Structure 1
C-alpha cells in the first residue's frame, strides 16, 4: 500500500476500518470439505465448491486504536449463499480477550438469502497485538474467520511518489527526504528497491517523533523513463510501497577522429596522435577506456592477470578554463585490467562541462609488423562505448646484406675457404644481429667472425664466413641472419660442391716390355697433385701375389738351398710370390714412386697400379702395367733410376 493509505488505515477507528474490510470482500478460508450426503436432509448444495455456503461479513475482524481494560465490539454476519435453508454452527473457542455473542442454539438454521448475526467482544489487557480465530461448520465445509487486534504501530511519513532529477546515461542523481516516525512505537524498518534506483541507508531504527534522512539514488544505464517501487518493510510485518520515478537522457558524443592511422614507427621509438572528445553539457562527464565493447566481457576477463606489456598508451590533456595542460599517461598503469593485443587503456578521468578533452595516443611498437586494434571509451552520457579504431605499423632495423646467394663452386675436401659479407644499416635505430647455420650435413662446417654484434644506424659491418668440409658432396645451405626487431630473418644461401684432391700420373701406363726371368726391372713415374690441399695416398698393384717376395737370380745362385724356382707355375694367389714393389707405397705431398718387378714365372702380365686417397676412397685411379716375362735371361737389366712419385700442391 502507499504511505498515505497506510497512514489512514492506522488512524481509522473501528467502524471506518470495518467498512474498509467489508469493501474488500472475499470468501473465507476452508479448513475442510464435508460430504453433504451424510446429513439428514440429503439436499445437494447449489453453490459451487469453490464458494462457501455462508459468506462472512466482514471476512476479517480488525480492532485498532484500543485502550487496555476497555471492551470493544464488532458485528459479524453470516449470509446463506445457497437456494435452500442451511445450518451453521460456531465451534466454541476459549479466549481471555475475545468472546462471541450469538444465537442460543448451538446449531442455527438460516433460510436462503438471509443471515445470522454474531457480536465479537474484545477486552484487551495490554496495548499490543492480539490474534484469534472463529471456526464455523456447515453441511459441506469447515471454515474460519480471523480476528486481529492491531496494537501500536510505527509510521514513517514517506511520500507516495518520489521523482528524481533528470539524469544522463551512466550518471547518477540523488534525492534526499527527511522522514519522521509519526506512529506510536519505535520504527524498525528495512528499505529495498531495484535497479536503476538505490537507497541509503537500507535499514534503520527511528524512535517515536524522531526524524532521519533517506537518500534515493538514480543510476540509469539506458535512456528513457524509469519506475520502480521502494519497499518499506516494518518489523511488525507491514509493507509500504513508495513509487520512484526517474528520467534519463543520452548525449551525442563522438571521438574525433573515429579512425586513427599512425605513421610507421621504428621499434623502441614512439609516435603520437591526438584524439578529442567534447562535453557540451552542464554535467561533468567521467570516462574510462576499455578493450571490449561490452561490460560483461570485461567482467569475465578481470578474473585473469594480464602478462603482456602493450606498446600503445593514451594520455590525457584536458584544456580547462585556465588552459592548464594535464597529462595522465595510461600506459601500463593497471596491470590487473586485461586488454587485447597491444593497447593498455585503463585510466579514468573527467571532462568538465563545456570543455574538450584531448587524448594523446602513444604508439610504441615492440615488433616489426602491422598493428590494428579497436579501443572503447566508456563515458557518462553515452549508452554504448565509443569505438576508436587505431592502426599502426612497427618498423624494425633496416638491415641489408650485399648479396643473398654465394656460388662457391668446387671446394677441395679439407680446404678452408673464407668469404666476406657486408652488412649495412640504413635505418634510424641500431640493428643487433646474429648469424646461425642450419643443423644439416654441411651446415655444421660454416663458422662466422663475428657471429653476433650490433650495426649502428647508418653504419656497416663486415662478417667473415668460413667453410671447411671433410665430407664430399653437393650442398646448398641457407645461413640465417637474425636481426632483433625484424619479423623474419634474412637468408644468405651458399651453394657448392666438395670434391676430392685432383692428381694425375706422369705416364699413361707402366710398360716393362720383355723382362728376363729372375732379373728385376724398374720403371719410374710421377704422381702430380694439382689440388690446393695435401693428399695422403697409398699405392698397390692389383693382381699381384700374396706370398713371399719373389727371388732374383742373384739370390737363387748365392743360396743354392732355395727351391723357389721349382715348379714353374703357381695358380694359388695366396702362395704366389709378391713380384711388384712400389716405392714409396704410402706418402703425401711431392712423393715419388719406384715400381720394381722381379718375375719368377714364365707368363705375360697385365695388371694395374691403383691409388687409394685418404678421406676420399679406394682405387681412385689405376695406372696399367704391361710386361712379358721370358725364359731367356738378359745380361743387362733395363733400369731407370727413380726419384719416386712426385706430388705438387
Structure 2
C-alpha cells in the first residue's frame, strides 16, 4: 500500500506488516530501504541495504510496531532508487470512540418563539470510551452539552430549535471528542420559522371612567388558532433588547460606588461585590413581567391549548384625576413580535357640586345680618372631603360659612349656612372656593349684592286700577314706609308715562263744546303722549321709621292696557331703588238709545217742537257724550238743536237729552241727530235713529212633536216688548205656508207688553216636516225661528162617521 497503518492493536504485543515494492520497469532496479530510528517502529532485517528487484517482480519489506499506550504514532520509510526516492508514511492508530451522529438534521417549518425538539439516539461504535462535548449556535441548542459514552453504549441527545425571527436558519452541531484532538465532526442543522394564527381579540382597551380608590375591569381574549400549546407572558417592554438594556442599567452600580469602596476595608468590598453579584443574578433571572401601579393584568402568564382561547382580566385603579395610558406587550409562542395592548383609563375625583353658580343677594342693609343656605351635593361614587378657601377681601371677610370643611358621602347632601353682615356700603362681587381633595378643580361660586343703608318698601305689592273709563280720573293709594335708620328723600315717577301735557278729563272736555277732539279723537291733535298719571306727593322726605301716604291717579286718554312700574329714586342711594307695579285697562262704555226716532207730528213752520232722547249706559263705567251740532243747517229743511249738548252718564244709568226741532218748510221732513262719546274720534257714535226696539220671541224654535195628519195642531209664542215705545211686527212662513198658518200675521206690540202669536200645523201626509218662521220687528233685524213636526196616522177619511152605528138599509 501507499501507506502503512497499524490499528486495532493490543498493548504490549508486537505487530508486523509487510510492504511490497513492485518493479514495473523493464530492467532490474536496485532499491535502498532506510528508516530513522524509532522506539515504536523497526525494519525486519538490516537498515539501509540495497535490494535488487528484477523487472516485473517485487520485494517484501517487513515493518514491526511495538505499541506503548493507545496514542497515535507517526513515522516514515524511505525507498531510494537511482531515479527517485519514495516516502511511505507509517501510522499507528490507537483505540478511539466513534459516535454515529447524522450528517444533517432538518426541523422543517416550526413556530417562531416556540421550542421544537428532536431527539437523536447516539451509539459509540468505536473501541474507546467517548468523552464528548456538543455545541451549536442560536437558534439551536443541544443537551447534554457534554457527556461520556462507553464502547457499544447508546444515549439520547436532544436538539432544540427555538427561533426568534422568521425565516430560514442553518448552522452546525459540532461534536468534539476529548481524546482525539482535531478530529471534530459536524452535523448540519436546518430549520424554517413561521408566524402562527395567534392573536388578541382587541389591541386597544379603554376602561370605564373610574373614581379614585375604586376599580373597574374589562377583559381581552387571546385566541390560539394553531396546533401548538402557546405559552404567553405579559411584558413591560416591546422587545427583548429593551428588556436586556433595562436589566443592564439595573445591574450597573452607581457612579460614586467606586470612590466609596476605595475608603472601605477589603472585607467590606468583597461583601459588597458578593451582594452585587447576587442582586445582578436576580435581575437577570427576572422575567420582567408587566407591572404597573394603575393597571393590573391577570393572569400575567400561562398556557393556551391548541384551538382554545384564554380570557385575560384587566383591572384599572386610578390614583389621580387624570387620563392614564399604558401599553402592555404579550410575548406568546408562535409570534415573532410581542403583541401590544394599549390601555386607556380616566381617573375621576370626587364630583362635588353646589346648587348655584352665582348668588345675587340683591340690596342689603348695612349692619344687618342675612342668612342663606347652599347645598353641596356629591354626585360621585366616593367620599368628597372639602374645605373652604377663605377670602381676605373687604366684603369677602364679612361672610361666614358653616361648616367650613367636612366630608360628603356618595350621593349625599351637605347644607352650608352662609351668613353675611357688612358695615361697608357699596356693591360687591366675591368668588369663593371649596377645595376638594383629589379633585382637579375646586368648587367655585360667586356671591354678588349691594350693601346700602336704605330700608324702604311699599305697603302693597302693586296697584291694580282694573277697568277705568276714558277721561275719568281714578285714584288708588298706598303707603311708602321707611324702616331705615336714617331719613330719606324720595322722588316718585313712572318712566312709561307720557311727557306731554296732562291728560284731558271728561269734566274739562264738557266745558269746551267746540273742541275738535270730539270728532277727531283725543290724541289726534297731540304731538306728545299726554301725562296720564298723577302722583301726590311725588317727592318728599320720610323720617327714620316713618311713612308717607301716596295717592296715584290715572286719567287715561288712550284705550289700551297699562302694565308699568312706579319707581322710587332716593337721594344719596341711587335711582330706581324700589318699584311698585301698576296695572289698568282703559275702556269706553257702549251707550244705546231707547227710542230710535222722534216724531213731532203736524207742526207749524218755524214753530219749535220739544222732544227728549233717552240714552242708556249698560256699563258699570261712566261715559261722557255730546250731541254734535247739525251739519249744513242753512240748507236743511228741518233744524234741530240741543240746549245741553254735553253730559256725563253714570254707570247703569239713563239720561234724557232735550232736543228742539224746527221745520223750515212745509211738508214731511226728517233729520239725523249724531251723538258721540268722548274718546272715539270720527263720525257719530249713535244717531237719533237709535237702537232697535227691545222685542224678542219667547222661544227660539217651535217643535210640534208627533201630530195626527189632517188635524190642526197649534202652539203659541209670545212677543215681548221691553222697550218704552211700541213696536210693529210682521210674521211669515219662509216656504209659503202650505202646512202652516199664523194668527195674527202682523200687529203692534205695546211698550212694556206682550202679544201672543199662534202657529197652527195641518199636515196632509205622514213623515217629518220642517220650515221656518221669519219675524220682522220695526227698525230691527229680522229673526228666524225653526219649525218642525212629525205626521202620524192615516190620510184616508170617510164622509160619514162609523159611530155610534152604520146602517146600510136593505139593498135589492
Which of 1 and 2 has higher RCO (CA within 8 Å, sep 6+)? Answer: 1
Q: Give the TM-score normalised by the residue count of structure 2.
A: 0.39
